[in-house]
Amino acid sequence: MDETALLAAEIAELKKHRNAVVLAHSYQVGDVQDIADFVGDSLGLSREAAATDADVIVFAGVNFMAETAAILNPTKTVLIPDPKAGCSLSDTVSARDVLRWRSEHPNGLVVSYVNTTAEVKALSDICVTSANAVKVVESLDRDRDLLFLPDMFLGEYVKQQTGREMDIWLGECHVHAGIGEQELSDRISSFPDAEFLIHPECGCGSSCLYLKPDAKIFSTEGMVNYAQSSSKKEFVVATEVGIIHRLNKKTYGKRFIPVKESAVCQYMKMNTLEKIRDSLRSNTHVVRVDDDIAAKARRAIDAMLAVV
């Protein structure tokens, strides 16, 4: 038995002993996805975290995701294998920034992407993911000012789809922002017959409107669902490359080409089988959120989860 198989077996035994589950984002390395009890996007992971009856949740993702799981499960133990797994997007906005906007728009609404800290969520009216952002914004009162944060590319996409006037925070994910027009143009030339699946956080999103008008804009989960049902056999995918492993597992006889091979989130890749094993074995690292902040943040998260 090789080292990967040994670690997987050890993790399975620890999960059984502690009544634990491992939740993994689709951007995790393949070995981590393979041992997870659930793999998905932020919305799916949030719903799974809210529904689990496990005593321990090991969150193979980044900090804001583990915080969300802890907020939704105040009586459970939530562990993150590497506490240094941050997020360049969530780092672009702070609670102070939200308070400043609210002081200038006292009747305004704050819509926060889940890629935010618990403190920012606590000051928000509702959270969204890339999977439901359009639907959520469409449901909100158009007579009130609205701030969408923190991703400017997702915000612009939502604005285009809804026709809603809103303030958009100028934040970005460093990985998705680096997937630009040149990379998209190169792939269009190389794979003219392929179907193009684009994440709305990508810097190439607006370019798609004229370079590849038939491209599909999807969340990571939307990409998986579409690829499974499509009759196409070749897809070019614009998001973090970890999704390719999941796409390959969920489909048969189809080819997936990343728009940019180097679109790798170093924070997501901090989670390893060794760290998951150690986290379960030693109960490290426990994710804790201040009770008052958690209660306020939960209202915004619950409002998101209520949008079907």
Annotated binding site for iminosuccinate: 25, 42, 113-115, 130, 199-201, 220
The structure tokens listed for 233 are 């056999």
**How many other CB atoms are found less than 10 A from the CB of residue 291?**
9
Beta strands in the chain (DSSP E): 20-25, 38-40, 56-60, 77-79, 109-113, 126-128, 146-149, 167-168, 195-198, 216-217, 234-238, 255-258
Q: Which positions ≥6 away from 73 have C-beta within 8 Å? A: 49, 50, 52, 57
Q: Which residues are annotated as a binding site for [4Fe-4S] cluster?
A: 87, 173, 265
Does residue 62 contact residue 91 with C-beta atoms inside 8 Å? no
Angstrom CA distances, 184 to 28, 68, 249, 262, stand at 23, 33, 25, 14
- Length, in residues, of the chain: 308
Rounded to whole angstroms, the Cα distance separating 237 from 223 reads 8
Q: Which residues are annotated as a binding site?
A: 25, 42, 87, 113-115, 130, 173, 199-201, 220, 265
Rounded to whole angstroms, the Cα distance separating 226 from 216 reads 9
Going by their DSSP bridges, the two strands 109-113 and 146-149 should be labelled as parallel
- At residue 162, φ and ψ (nearest 5 deg) are -100, -20
